[in-house]
Structure formats: structure tokens, C-alpha cells
Amino acid sequence: MSFGLTVASYLIAILVILMNFGGNAVFPVDCAVVFGSAVRQGSEAGPGITRRVETAVHLLQEGSVQRLFFTGGVGEGNLASEAAVMRNVALRMGVSHDVISLEDDATSTWQNIKFIQPHLTDCTSIVGISDRYHLARIRLTAWKLGVPMAIYPAERQAGVPFEIVAALREAVGILMYAVMNQ
């Protein structure tokens, strides 16, 4: 691929990320898939997990979603999976065990969706919840894996400097996922 085409593809990927910042979800939906993020000190929720779970719990409490699926494995140096940490945050926020399911083997967005897919058979409508810079890759991956998933951003943002760096990283991820085979 020529340098010019590479740069153009990267810029298009950034544009796609920005275009998906607001999500495309229409509520109510049956199930929310909440994507993992960094775990701190082995088993503590990082700010990404907190933002994403707060949004999912808010949607659950207002009746916009009926079930929560937390996905994310154990990162290097961690004691607990991202999914388990998210469950603990949700439980502390008053969510019942009955509406929570975990997928705690995935270590990438691709695996998050692929591994959670068999658990979503009773869901007639699905929304993926993550930080807004991550939504375009979720949407692309769900489409490639044949999972009908809308997307919705965490209600609190990470902060502009962090999101700029994250969007630049996500653009590379989108380009890689765009050429991946199932």
C-alpha cells in the first residue's frame, strides 16, 4: 500500500470514529454488552470501567435495558477479569445478580463480541456500551461477526487529551479489524 493510501485510510478511520461518537442505539433494548477496560491494582475498577458500568446501570434502572452482559478477560498482572470487576461495580450500585452475565475470557474487542455471541441468543435487541472513541470498532466488529448490535457511549467522557490519544490508537485498530478475516 502506498504511503498516500495509508495516510488517507488512517484519516478515514479517524473520521469514522468521530462519526460514531454519539452511537446509534434506540431504546428500549433487551440486552446491553458492556465492554471491559483497564483494571487497576489487580482488581480495582479503572475509570473506563466505572464510566461504562455507570451508564449501563443507569439504562437498566430507567428500564431502557433488561440484562447486562459484562465482557473482558484477565489482563497481564491482574487478579480479576474486567468482567468480574464490572460485575462488582454494578452490584455495589444495587444491581441484582439475576440480570448480570459474564464473559471473562476475551482479551480484545474481536473476542469480546465473538465470545459473548452464544450468550445473546435470548436477546432480540442488543446495545454495546463503551467509551465513545471505541464505538466504531465495536460496530465494525459486530457487523463482521454478524451480531446485530447497536452502540451507545458512556455518558461521562474520558477527557479530551485522553480521547485524542485513544482515537488515534483506535484508528489503527479499525484498519486492522477491517482487513481481518473471521
Map out the domains of the chain as residue ranges. 3-179
Which pLDDT tens digit goes with each residue over 154-165?
A: 999 988 999 999
Evaluate whether the domain defined by 3-179 bears CATH number 3.40.50.620: yes
Which pLDDT tens digit goes with each residue over 62-85?
A: 999 999 999 999 988 888 999 999
Q: Could you tell me if residue 159 is left (phi over 0), alpha (psi between -120 and 50 degrees) or otherwise beta? A: left
| DSSP sequence for 91-136 | HHTT--GGGEEEE----SHHHHHHHHGGGGTT-SSEEEEE-GGGHH
Which pLDDT tens digit goes with each residue over 8-67?
A: 999 999 999 999 999 999 999 999 999 999 898 888 999 999 999 999 999 999 999 999
* Distances from the Cα of 139 to the Cα of 15, 20, 130, angstroms: 14, 9, 11
Q: Could you tell me the pTM of the whole model? A: 0.94
